[in-house]
Amino acid sequence: MARITPEALRSQRWFGRESMRTFNHRSRMAQLGYAQEDYRDKPVIAILNTWSEINPCHSHFKARAEEVKRGVWQAGGFPLEMPAMSIAEPFQKPSPLLYRNLLAMEVEELLRSHPVDGAVLMGGCDKTTPGLVMGATSMGLPFLYMPAGPMLRGNFNGQTLGSGSDMFKHWAEVRAGTLPLEQWEGVLSGIARSPGHCMTMGTASTMTSAAEALGLTLPGAASIPAPDSRHALMAAASGRRIVEMVWEDLRPAAVLTADAFDNAVTAVLALGGSTNALVHLIAMARRAGVPLDLERFDAIARATPLIANVRPAGRYLMEDFYYAGGLPAMLNRLRDRLALDAPTVNGKTLGENIADARVFDDDVILPLERALVPEGSLAVLRGNLAPDGAVIKPAAAEPQLRRHTGRAVVFENYAELQARIDDPDLEVDATSVLVLKNAGPLGGPGMPEWGQLPIPKKLLQQGVRDMVRISDCRMSGTSFGACVLHVAPEAYVGGPLALVASGDVIELDVPARRLHLHVDDAELARRRAAWRAPPPRYERGFGALYAQHVLQADAGCDFDILVRPGATAEPEIY
Ligand code: FES
């Protein structure tokens, strides 16, 4: 393999030939306590650490960064840890997706503006994976992704608990009056009991697994539980490998091909992954110049069995998945559906990386003939209600709801939904279709995860546990139900969803991939003429920048200025 010389290192522009400016850089490195032999002629590796005291999923990252550094030193590189925005899913409001592109911008500019030759990206909590990868892809330096790893299984009163899923399930029982509040409080202390990201197949596990299937991590990295000692070993190995990647000049463009994205989509579908993956993978692909769209997800879904028996689609959790062989073993089961010659960051192909991976528990990683869902675990819908697409996880819905026609019960926004959903006088029954407007990329803003609209209390008490629900927002990967999500264009910009009124008949037909509003065109035209755009939500600041540039869900919610073609010059150094 060809290797670059020390003179070709990008960091030489800061530390190389003698000048007043390089003198200043070297004197400041001395101020930091580094002798010139620490970094001279060595790859400078940025360790982008999304640790934060408010992010429980990354609470082990201080220790892990030290382990990555150890690997970088061992391999003859020079590590520099740099903090990057953490995006703590549980805490960041109004929606963490609002800030994904800000993290991506920060990552790109951190790498561009500093003397960096390569990077290890440390993330895991939902939006951190796409944000880090999008920014580093746009910068184009060699990088490797180090996933946080899932937390341990939840446990309370001898019961196994899964992040998100069990919260939603138990809260529905509290609202139905079948679970006492004291027990609900007990669930709180047992549902998240170690460092690491959510351990169901939520967005975090979905996206870290997607990163591995893309070839951006060391093999097996995404499945290792955060507290497992093998996670620390993986961190150090990531540090060693990135140094070699710099010498090999192995850049993201060589890894992030159309084949790699097809592999990632296949992995996500076989895992029963979060619908958030559509938004993120489309955004990541477009940063790499790969024109991934919703139809590609639907096409791959029709040929991909769901074989990871992990909640919310299945029974187990990520810890079980790891002990059963983890992602490499699952991918090996799917090898006939993968582009095996796709290159990866360890210098081998995906096929080489998974060739010897074995499944140790057939009940957790199912044989293809025993798939939880033989095909179509995700479906892309079109129709006059969603001209630019919408998405549903049919497997997460009660079977009779996959073909359903009912009358709309409309909520103009989430505040109205919260105020009215449990009103005993709400005109709703089990056949109704709940519709939430103004919760999309701009309306939410940031497409909050409200898509699993709550079942009205009076229906819960009648035993109803699923209904057709339609919105322009997202849904947590740990959620379930007949929820039609990501309706595009969103209501806030005047998409057809904005025109739906209570009592309208809506038809959902998943096998036909159809979402239709049974209101004639003349009436829709009349409603459109009467529709008024809401006033801008932000007058200044990042919110205003976001509102000006964000794209709709079917285009990945990236900023138009970040995804458009064009080169960004290296900084001048005077
Ligand atoms: Fe961080 Fe779920 S809260 S991954």
Percent of the chain with pLDDT over 70: 100
pLDDT value, residue 184: 87
Tell which atom from ligand 1 comes closest to the C-alpha of 90.
3
Beta-bridge partners for 349: 343
Among 20-34, 152-166, 357-371, whose mean pLDDT is lowest? 152-166
Please, where are the H alpha helices in 388-450? 414-420
Beta carbons of 341 and 349 less than 8 angstroms apart: yes
Three-class SS string for 383-404? Answer: ECCEEEEEEECHHHCCHHHHEE
Pocket of ligand 1 (CB under 6 A): 57, 89-90, 125-126, 163, 197-198, 202, 204
- Per-residue pLDDT tens digits for 398-447: 999 999 999 999 999 999 999 999 999 999 999 999 999 999 999 999 99
pLDDT tens profile 86-132 = 999 999 999 999 999 999 999 999 999 999 999 999 999 999 999 99
What's the pLDDT score for residue 368?
Answer: 98
The CA 523 to ligand 1 mean position distance, Å, reads 44
Check residue 189 and give its pLDDT: 84
- The confidence score (pLDDT) of residue 17 equals 81
Q: What is the pLDDT of residue 479?
A: 77
Q: Check if the beta carbon of residue 165 is closer than 8 Å to that of residue 312.
A: yes
Name the residue of 55, 89, 97 to mutate for ligand 1: max ligand atoms within 8 A of Cβ: 89
Q: What is the pLDDT of residue 210?
A: 98
CA-closest candidate to residue 134, choices 337, 345, 335, 284: 284
499 pLDDT higher than 80: yes
Q: How confident is the model at residue 24, as a pLDDT?
A: 95
Measured from the Cα of 204, ligand 1's closest atom is 4
CA 311–ligand 1 middle distance (angstroms): 15
Whether 477 has a pLDDT exceeding 80, the answer reads no
Work out the number of other CB atoms within 10 angstroms of the CB of residue 109.
Answer: 15
Residue 145, by phi and psi: left (phi above 0), alpha (psi -120 to 50) or beta?
A: beta
Do residues 447 and 557 lie in contact, with contact meaning Cβ atoms separated by under 8 Å? yes
Distance (angstroms) between ligand 1 centre and the Cα of 281 equals 18
pLDDT band at 185 (very low <50, low <70, confident <90, very high): confident
Instruction: Please provide residue 541's backbone torsions phi and psi, each rounded to the nearest 5 degrees.
Output: 75, -165
3-class state of residue 158 by DSSP: coil
* Residue 81, pLDDT score: 98
| Nearest protein Cα to ligand 1, atom 3 | 89
Q: Provide the terminal-to-terminal Cα distance of the chain, rounded to the nearest Å.
A: 35
For ligand 1, what atom is nearest to the CA of residue 163? 2
Give 247-279 pLDDT, tens digit per residue.
999 999 999 999 999 999 999 999 999 999 999
Which residues are registered as beta bridge partners of 390?
Answer: 381
Q: What is the arithmetic mean of pLDDT over 539-549? A: 97
Predicted confidence at residue 177, as pLDDT, reads 86
**Distance between CA atoms of 119 and 436, rounded to whole angstroms?**
41
DSSP 480: -
Residues facing residue 434 across a β-bridge: 409, 469
Average pLDDT, the chain: 96
Residue whose CA lies nearest to ligand 1 atom number 2: 198
The pLDDT, as a whole number, for residue 414 is 96
- What is the 396 CA–ligand 1 centroid distance (Å)? 20
Q: How far, rounded to the nearest angstrom, does the alpha carbon of residue 124 sit from its chain's CA centroid? A: 9
Q: Tens of pLDDT along 120-151? A: 999 999 999 999 999 999 999 999 999 999 99
Amino acid identity of residue 330, one-letter, is: M
Instruction: Please give the number of the atom of ligand 1 that sits closest to the Cα of 55.
Output: 1
> Strand 514-517 relative to strand 505-509: parallel, antiparallel, unpaired?
antiparallel
CB 260 within 8 A of CB 214: yes
Q: How confident is the model over 498-508, as a mean pLDDT?
A: 98
Give 295-318 pLDDT, tens digit per residue.
999 999 999 999 999 998 899 999
| Amino acid type, 33 | G
418 Cα–ligand 1 center, Å: 24
- Of 275-284, 338-347, 563-572, which gets the smallest average pLDDT? 563-572
pLDDT of 189-238, one tens digit each? 899 999 999 999 999 999 999 999 999 999 999 999 999 999 999 999 99
